[in-house]
Structure 1
Amino acid sequence: MSEKPSDDQPSASEIPDDVWEQFTRDTERDIRSSAPKEPSARARMVTERLREQDARGELPPGWRTGPAMGVPPARAKPRAWGKEMNGRAARRRKLWAVLGVAVAVAVALVALKPSLLPGDPFGTGESQAASPLPAESTAPTAAPGASAPETPTLDRPFAGSPALRWADGESGIVLPEAKAVGAVSADRVEEALKLTKKLLVGANLDPKTVRGARPTAALSVLDPKQPELLDDLDTGLRSPSEKHDPVTLFSRFDPDEVRPAGDVIKTRGRMTFKKGTQGGVAVRADYTFVYPVVRADGPTEVTRTIVRRVIDVELADPRRYEVTPGRLLLMNYDQEIGNSSCFVNDGYLHPEFSSSRSAGPDPSGPATDPYDRSRELEHGDGGDCGTVTRT
C-alpha cells in the first residue's frame, strides 16, 4: 500500500525544472559509476595467469587473485559445459594424432611412388598413361615430341615411347562417320570401313597372327577372285622368301625367338574413304602398331618393334564387276618396319635387343623416326637397310 505524502513535502510539480534536471543528471552519473564493469582482455589475461600461478603456489604470501587486486574475478563456467569442451579438445587431439600418422604414411608412399599423386607434379612422365591422345582424324604435321629416356620393363613395356599415350589394340582403330559417296550409300560405306578394320585387326592385332600362326581372319576378308594376290600370300606363308615375305602385310613373330611382353599392342592411325574405281567405295588405312617383346628363352629385357602399314582396299559393286559380295579388293599395300633385322626373309619380324647385336650387315640407309606419322612412306627397292632413331 502506498504512503500518502505529507503536506509539508513539495510535490514534483512544485520542484523547479532546473533543479529536477540537475537531480536526473547526478542520478544517472552515480548509476554508471557504480555499475560492474567487464574486465578488459589484458585484465582477464593477467588474472588468469596469476590464478594459475596461485594454484601452483608460485605467488608470494599475501598475493591472491580477485577483487583485492582491483580486477573482478572471471565468471565461472558451468561445470557441464566445461566437461563438454574438455571432451572435444581431447577428441581433437586424438584426431590430429591419427591424421599425423596418416599424413606420414602418405608422404612415405608418395616418396616411393610419385605416380600416386594426381597429375604429374614432379615431372615423372608417368601421368601420361592417364591422359591418352585423342583419335587421329587428320594427318599429323610433325613427329611426336621427345619422351623421357626410360627403359621399358615388363610392368611398363611402353616406358620412354610416344606410344605410351596411344590407344590399346582395336580401340585405336576409330572408324570415321560413314557418308554416301556419289551413288554409293552410307550403308555400303560403313560396310567397307568395318571390313577394313577387320582386315587390320586380323593382320596386326590377332594374338594368333602375332605369334606366328596363319592369319585366317584377315585372309577371310579378301576377295578370292583376286587369285594372283592370294596365291602370293599363300606362298609367302608356306615358303617365305625375299620375293614372297608375309611380313609385308602381316605382323608375325617367331615364337621360338620372342614372346609378347604383356597383352597390349599400341595402335594409332586414321581411315579415309572416297569414290572407288570399281563402282564402289575406296578406303585408305594408315596405321602404326607398336609391339613390345622379350626373348623366348627367359631374359626379361624388353624391346619394341614398330610397324606402320598403309593399305588401299575397295568394296566394289558386284552388279557391275565380277567380285564377291562382302569381300575387299586389296589394291595396294606398303609398310615401314622399325627395329627388325634386315635381310632376313623367313616370314617373321626379328626385333633387336640393346644387349645383343644382330649378326647381319651394318645398316647403310638413312636414320628414321618410326613414330613420325607425318611422313609419306618412301617406295624404295627394298635393298636399303636404315636405322631407327628411337624404339
Structure 2
Amino acid sequence: MSSVPPSDRSDDEPAPSISDEQLEAFLREAAEGGAASAPKEPSARARMVARRLREEEAPTPWRAPQRAPKGGCPRRRLVGAVVGVLVLAALAVVAVRPSLLTDRLPGGDDASAPPTLAAETGRPTGAPGEPAGSERATREHPFRGSPAERWAEGADAIAVPRAKALSGMSEDDVAFALRRTKELLVAANLDPAVLRGEHPDEALDVLDPQQPELLPKLRRSLSSPDEDHDPLRLFTRFDPAETRPAGDVVKVRGRMTLAAGEPGVVKVNADYTFVYPLVRAHDADGPVARTIIRRVLTLTLNDPARWNVTEGKLLVEKYFSEYGNTDCDVHDGFLHPGFPDDGPGGARPTGPITDPYDRSRPLTGSGSGGCGQVTRT
C-alpha cells in the first residue's frame, strides 16, 4: 500500500507550468526573505534553475579576491619586517655615533649652540675666555672648543660702516672705497678657489697698477714663492694635495674704520681674524685642525683729479699678517697646519708665545718675528 496521498489531478492532465523568469524571481525573493507563497513546481526543476542562478552570479576568476594564507595579511607582515630591520640598523648606528641623535634633539648641540657675538665696534680689552666645556673639534662641529664658535661667518661677518663725505671725497666715493676694501678681503681670504691655491685675480683687480712695485711683487710671490716673496702676506692659500676645508664655513671677526688722509685721500683701516678648519686631503676620519690668520691693512682711495692714480682702484698703504698653526720653515706659498695627532717635527719655536684669538694686541709688523708658539687653536 502506498503512503503517498493521491494526486488531485488525473494522470493525463498536464501539469501547471510557470516560466523560468517567475521561478528565478521567486528564488531571489526567498533569498532576501521576502518571498510570497512558493509557486508549485517540481523540486527537480527548482534545483536546476537555482544551480544555474548560482553559476551566473558567482564572481569570475580574474576578479575574485585573493585569499590570504593563514596567519594574517602577508603585506602587513612584510612591512613590519622591513620596519623592524630599519629600526635595528638605526639603533646600531646611534650606538656607535650617538652624536648623530643627540645633536638633533632639542637639547643637542644645534639647539644649544652659543649665540653669535655682536659685531666688533672697537679694539677688545683682552683675549676671549675659554669656551665652556673642553670638547674637541669634530668634522660636524669644527669650531667646537674655540672662541670662533661664537663668531659670525664668511663675507657677512665683514661689516661695512656707514659712509660719509671725508677729506674732500664725496659720500659715494667713500662708500665705494669701503665696498672695494671688503671685496679685497673676501677675494683674498674667503674665495674657495683662492683657498685651494688658485690665482687671486679678483683680489689683484682691486689694486692700482700705478702703485710702484706692489703688483709686480705680488705676482712674483705667486709664481715663484720664497721667504722674501711670500703670497701669504696678503692671500690665504692651502695646498690642496695636503689639506682641504672641513666644511664650507670660515669664521671671521674684526672691524673696518674710516680715516681722513691728505686732501683727496680717504683711508680704510681693516683689522680681521680668520679661522679656517681643515682636514687632511685624503683622510676620511682624521682629526680637525684650525689655522688662524689675523690681517691688518690700510687701503686708500685717491682722487684721480689730484693724484696720479687709476680711477676706481685702491692703493695699499700697509699690510701686516700673523699666522697661527702653520709650519714656519716652509716657504712654498701655502699654509701647512699641524694636526692634533702629528708627532714632533717642524721648526723649533723661537718667537714669542701668542694667543691667536687675542685681538686686543696691536699688530704692527715691528715684532721680533721668528717662529712663535700659539697657546691654542
Instruction: Tell me the TM-score normalized by structure 1.
Output: 0.67
Question: 2:24 maps to which residue?
Answer: none
1:316-335 paired onto structure 2 within 5 Å:
316-335=302-321
1:121-270 paired onto structure 2 within 5 Å:
129=113, 131-147=115-131, 148-270=133-255
Secondary structure of the 1:177 match is: coil
The whole-number CA distance in structure 1 between the counterparts of 2:312 and 2:162 is: 19
1:138: how far off? 1.2
1:313: how far off? 0.5
Distance 1:128 1:349, change over 3 A: farther
Q: For the aligned residues, what is the CA RMSD?
A: 2.1
* Alignment coverage as a number of residue pairs: 278
The whole-number CA distance in structure 1 between the counterparts of 2:112 and 2:266 is: 38
Alignment check: 8 A CA contact 1:341 1:358 kept:
no
The whole-number CA distance in structure 1 between the counterparts of 2:259 and 2:249 is: 32
Alignment check: 8 A CA contact 2:327 2:347 kept:
no
The whole-number CA distance in structure 2 between the counterparts of 1:196 and 1:170 is: 12
Structure 2 letter corresponding to 1:208: A
Alignment check: 8 A CA contact 1:249 1:335 kept:
yes
The whole-number CA distance in structure 2 between the counterparts of 1:274 and 1:313 is: 10
1:220: how far off? 0.5
- Indicate the percent of aligned positions where both proteins have the same amino acid: 53
The whole-number CA distance in structure 2 between the counterparts of 1:114 and 1:282 is: 45
Distance 1:127 1:336, change over 3 A: farther
Question: 2:105 maps to which residue?
Answer: 116
1:380: how far off? 4.1
Alignment check: 8 A CA contact 2:238 2:334 kept:
yes
Question: 1:379 maps to which residue?
Answer: 365
Structure 2 letter corresponding to 1:352: G
1:61-80 paired onto structure 2 within 5 Å:
none
Secondary structure of the 2:348 match is: coil
- Report the more deviating stretch, 186-195 or 296-305: 296-305
1:337 and 2:323 are equivalent in the alignment: yes
Secondary structure of the 1:116 match is: coil
Distance 1:378 1:279, change over 3 A: closer
1:378: how far off? 4.8
Q: Which runs of 5+ in 1 are unaligned?
A: 1-108, 119-123
Alignment check: 8 A CA contact 2:329 2:346 kept:
yes
Distance 1:174 1:128, change over 3 A: farther
Alignment check: 8 A CA contact 1:178 1:190 kept:
yes
The whole-number CA distance in structure 2 between the counterparts of 1:212 and 1:192 is: 27
Q: Which runs of 5+ in 2 are unaligned?
A: 1-97
How big is each residue's C-alpha offset from its partner over 1:214-243, in whole Å with a ceiling of 9 and x where there is no partner? 111100000011140111101100000000
How big is each residue's C-alpha offset from its partner over 1:276-313, in whole Å with a ceiling of 9 and x where there is no partner? 23622100000000000001121431100000000110
